[in-house]
Amino acid sequence: SICVPVLKRMEKVPPLLRKEVEVAKLQKELTGEVNRKIGERQREFFLKEQLKIIQQELGITKDDRSADADEFRSRLEGKVVPPAAQKRIDDELTKLSVLETGSPEYAVTRNYLDWATSMPWGLYSEDKLDLGRARKILNDHHAGLDDIKSRIIEFLAVGAFRGEIAGSIVLLVGPPGVGKTSIGKSIAESLGRPFYRFSVGGMRDEAEIKGHRRTYIGALPGKLVQALKEVEVMNPVIMLDEVDKLGNSHQGDPASALLETLDPEQNVGFLDHYLDLRLDLSKVLFVCTANSLYSIPGPLLDRMEIIRLSGYITEEKLAIAKRHLWPRQLERAGVPKNRLAISDSALRNLIEGYAREAGVRQLDKQLGKLVRKAVVKLLDEPDSKIKIGPKDIESYLGMAFWHPEQLLTGVGVVTGLAWNSMGGATLPIEATRIHTLNRGFKLTGKLGDVMKESAEIAFSYVNSHLKEFKGDPKFFDQAFVHMHVPEGATPKDGPSAGISMASALLSLARNQAPKKGVAMTGELTLTGLVLPIGGLREKVIAARRLKLYELIIPELNRGDFEELPDYLKEGLTMHFAKRFSDVVKVLF
């Protein structure tokens, strides 16, 4: 028989029993707590339902449908809603009153009414047509840009004369960082209108402009309707940023969708896909920005008034840095003005050595870097004051990115002028004879097709007129000529280097260096005519930056030159060429 140790077993029973009792107690407490909470919620629910029924019986409150409908009706008080829009809203309110509040259709209709009644129907802000005030705002916010300011003042003056500013579409074109977006804000501030900005760069879906049809789940109106809801008036200043970078995809063409929006003849009845109501955008002032005109569709460009912003010269950048950028960087870093200062000569060194681009973004970044490095010194020496001079710039920022450009001179070397969306630049052109074993012509410098054709025209024209221009008539018969346009890695295209390339070839044939300190630009034809070019302002700025004060430009660009501000024309010796023979008279 087996002996069972009963005593030992009995010793193990009490702890097990205690554990079971604890679990049972805990379960009882939890069950009691859950029942209590459920009971409270049920009681609260029953009381609320009873209260709601009593209030409805007494007419004290309304159900959700009635409350929503009253809210939408109250929003329309004081607004001038067009009859067609009013009828549509009334129909939707009637539909809302018969739908169940929990149904999906109720949510769709409610959202629609929310947007439709949020529109500022017939509400307009009063324009401030004080030209003195407008001038002060523009001058406070922007250094330089005198020609742009005068264009804006002219625009406001016409509105002041009429008594109202009509809707208009202005396109500000210029290199990055020259202040296009901030000018849009200044226009809005000087008019006293609300400002709304959205970027259309990379936008590929036309629904972003015109909205989605409300049959889709999660449908929304387009950006313009959203803008009107936010600004709460029908005549804001709306900025469409980066309009030259609009995309295009299988989902639609946003540039084409903008055609209706930006046409003053059509946008009186702008139709958003979501609202499906006619909105009057004819009083909206649209300000668009772009770096280049080439990628903007012609029909869209045709609807805009173009205002060109060019790059800044050193003196303008210096004024901008002193008045705007440097104080802003000190404020961001929390540094008192009396503890950190920078001299004018140091700013000039910084501009010419580290920030030579057309705009001022790079200049702002370099000033921020200066302030950060100075703050480290101020923390190390709490009682010190720092004055940054021209010799300190290199110790703070390292070696300069830009060095004084060496003007290439000699036989077969000419300085041309070029421009692109980033601003103007000088374009040295070099031509040399490699050997006389056979006739040939070679081009290098990553040139585009148009520029290659321009070089061939120059070669043909000079070759056929060597005797007239006192060159050796047989020079090119056995000469293999190589023409190069540095820098080799930078793509270049366009016809405006025609006279520059012809001058380099003629210099080579005459074995005579052209006149020093002269820069030129102009398209050349096979008959020797000099045709007009674009980007004259940018090219003049590029020439001044290199201290080139004698320029040859086409006679047909004389009007463009006369329109330039006086500070750009000051000190320049200009030669206006009708034919290539006029260029030769200046150079040789």
User: CATH number of the domain that 353 lies in?
Assistant: 1.10.8.60
CA atoms within 13 A on the CB side of 222: 23
More confident call, 444 vs 218: 444
- Domain boundary among the residues 397, 421, 444 is at 397
The answer to which of 162-166, 367-371, 554-558 has the lowest mean pLDDT is: 162-166
CATH number at 182 reads 3.40.50.300
The per-residue pLDDT for 369 is 93
Asked if residue 61 is part of any domain, the answer here is: no
Task: Check whether 525 has a pLDDT greater than 60.
Answer: yes
Q: What does the pLDDT average to over 286-303?
A: 86
- Domain boundary among the residues 281, 308, 335 is at 308
**Burial class (CB within 10 angstroms; exposed 0-12, middle 13-18, buried 19+) of 105:** exposed
Per residue in 315-370, pLDDT tens? 888 988 998 999 999 999 999 988 999 999 999 999 888 887 888 889 999 999 99
| Domain shared by 252 and 322, yes or no | no
Task: Check whether 429 has a pLDDT greater than 90.
Answer: yes
The residues near 60 (Cβ < 8 Å, ≥ 6 apart) are none
Task: Check whether 156 has a pLDDT greater than 60.
Answer: yes
Q: What does the pLDDT average to over 212-220?
A: 85
For tokens 């056995």, the residue is: 478
Maximum average pLDDT range among 66-70, 306-310, 343-347, 474-478: 343-347
Q: Which domain holds residue 485?
A: 413-587
The per-residue pLDDT for 3 is 66
Asked if residue 356 is part of any domain, the answer here is: yes
Asked if residue 30 is part of any domain, the answer here is: no
| Domain shared by 105 and 237, yes or no | no
Give which of 410, 409, 415 is closest to 518, Cα–Cα.
415
Q: How is residue 498 written in tokens?
A: 């025609």
| Domain shared by 158 and 297, yes or no | yes
**Looking at 149, 180, 210, 539, which residue is catalytic?**
539
CATH number at 446 reads 3.30.230.10
| Domain shared by 425 and 541, yes or no | yes
Q: How is residue 315 written in tokens?
A: 């003196």
Asked if residue 482 is part of any domain, the answer here is: yes
| Domain shared by 380 and 259, yes or no | no
More confident call, 551 vs 169: 551
| Domain shared by 138 and 157, yes or no | yes
For tokens 């649209």, the residue is: 286
Per residue in 173-209, pLDDT tens? 888 888 888 888 988 898 889 999 988 887 777 888 8
| Domain shared by 240 and 216, yes or no | yes
3-state SS string for 69-100: HHHHHHHCCCCCCCHHHHHHHHHHHHHHHHCC
Tell how strand 168-173 and strand 278-279 pair up: unpaired
Task: Check whether 1 has a pLDDT greater than 60.
Answer: no
**Looking at 496, 500, 503, 507, which residue is catalytic?**
496
| Domain shared by 455 and 507, yes or no | yes
CA–CA distances in Å: residue 390 to residues 41, 89, 316:
76, 68, 19
pTM: 0.75
| Domain shared by 378 and 446, yes or no | no
Asked if residue 14 is part of any domain, the answer here is: no
Confirm if 173 and 307 have CB atoms less than 8 A apart. yes
The per-residue pLDDT for 64 is 67
Asked if residue 50 is part of any domain, the answer here is: no
Confirm if 167 and 279 have CB atoms less than 8 A apart. no
CA–CA distances in Å: residue 257 to residues 254, 298, 387, 554:
5, 14, 54, 39
Asked if residue 17 is part of any domain, the answer here is: no
| Domain shared by 485 and 564, yes or no | yes
Interaxial angle between packed helices 498-510 and 449-464, expressed in degrees from 0 to 180 and rounded to the nearest 10: 40
The per-residue pLDDT for 541 is 85
| Domain shared by 447 and 579, yes or no | yes
Q: How is residue 163 written in tokens?
A: 């008594």
**Cis preceding linkage at 487, omega within 30:** yes
pLDDT-derived band of residue 4, with 50, 70 and 90 as boundaries? low
Catalytic site includes residue 48: no
| Domain shared by 432 and 545, yes or no | yes
Domain count, the chain: 4
Per residue in 488-522, pLDDT tens? 777 888 889 999 999 999 999 999 999 998 999 99
Confirm if 346 and 330 have CB atoms less than 8 A apart. no
- Domain boundary among the residues 397, 430, 461 is at 397
Per residue in 297-321, pLDDT tens? 888 888 888 888 877 878 888 988 9
Asked if residue 202 is part of any domain, the answer here is: yes
Catalytic site includes residue 539: yes
Confirm if 189 and 236 have CB atoms less than 8 A apart. no
The per-residue pLDDT for 84 is 92
